[in-house]
Amino acid sequence: MRWDIFCKVIDNHGDLGVCWRLACQLAAQGDGVRLWVDDGAALEWMAPVGLAGVEVVDWRAPAAVVEAAAALAPDVLIEAFGCDPAPELIARFAEAASEGRPARPWINLEYLSAEPYVERLHGLPSPVFRGPGEGLSKRFFYPGFTTATGGLLREPDLTAQQEAFDRAAWLVARGIEWQGERLVSLFCYEPPALADLLAQLAAGPTPTRLLVTPGRAAQAVQAITGSRRGMERLPGGLGALSISYLHHLAQPDFDHLLWACDLNFVRGEDSFVRAIWAGAPMVWQIYPQDDDAHHIKLAAFLDWLGAPASLRHGHTIWNGFEAGPMPLLDRETLAEWRANAQSARDRLLQQNDLVTQLRSLISQKS
């Protein structure tokens, strides 16, 4: 099959990360994919060598749109997160869909949520009444956490990869001089509780190494510590915390980072899902929305997770829903969080992955 996936970059780690993983899994199963992106700069480090079967196309380039509009239309069109593909390409898709063959699937891939409406809307049609796609019908595809949703992206061999992972070797290869201390990854925006977290880790009894991703997370930490060196102790004689600033990681190595750590702070959607699959304790900084809809979205996930009280409280503080210190990240707390994370992961492994469910929906509705 030939797929067109359209992605408009808002948060390049999340939107583009999800679409690239989806494209790669489809290509790995033998299909051809064109990934249309309005800003693919992050792929230079997210996927530096690309992947056979995936063609990245800049949809801002008029010549690329004209060429595609004159060529064969895709068998499936994926509109990721309501991004409105170019009208010329919709017109070509509609023309192909009207040539007497079964309807070509047009999928509206939505954002991940555990809210109840996801189960109600997943798979429903959305008729197109005007514009170049008039007469066609989109299908809502909602990723989710239950069998009544579209599931989560997951490679077929993910569990085997994790079982074969060598944490010590991976850290050495990244130039991280690990001495057996607790490892914590940090991929975040600018959480108001960050200073408190750093102080807690620095003053605690457990030696901890914080592995900080580049960009906003590194800038936020550096603003607090006042240092830009790769390894630095916090000022004030608080010496239990060491900080390592990482370079940009390709997607497989970002997964390895999550597998290597004893606690992961993640943000957005793509890293959130990858942290779930890691099965380690996790704190999620959800993408903020102006109408505070992210409060409801986070609460729905924590309800599905069956999160213990300390983990709920940690998410509330980390996301700035209320002021106060982060929960004490002692051995007992993290053990409870780990058991909760692994239970959730085991439940999800019993469900079909997103690509399997996407193919099933297409075959049923075509």
Query: Sign of dihedral through CA atoms 22, 28, 29, 30?
Result: positive
Dihedral in degrees, nearest 10, Cα atoms 152, 21, 280, 113: -40
- Neighbour tally for 49: CB within 10 Å: 6
- Beta partners for residue 140, in sequence order: 108
For the chain, the straight-line distance linking the first and the last C-alpha, in angstroms and rounded, comes to: 13
Alpha-carbon distance of 320 to 114, in angstroms, equals 20
Alpha-carbon distance of 285 to 191, in angstroms, equals 8
Sheet holding 231-232, edge to edge: 231-232, 241-245, 208-212, 182-186, 263-267, 282-285
Alpha-carbon distance of 111 to 14, in angstroms, equals 10
Phi, psi dihedrals of residue 4, rounded to the nearest 5°: -110, 125
Alpha helices, DSSP H, located in 84-149:
87-97, 117-121
Phi, psi dihedrals of residue 59, rounded to the nearest 5°: -75, -5
Catalytic residue numbers read 15, 269
Alpha-carbon distance of 262 to 275, in angstroms, equals 11
Say whether 316 sits in a helix, a strand or coil.
Answer: helix
Provide the phi-psi class of 324: left if phi over 0, else alpha when psi is between -120 and 50, else beta: left
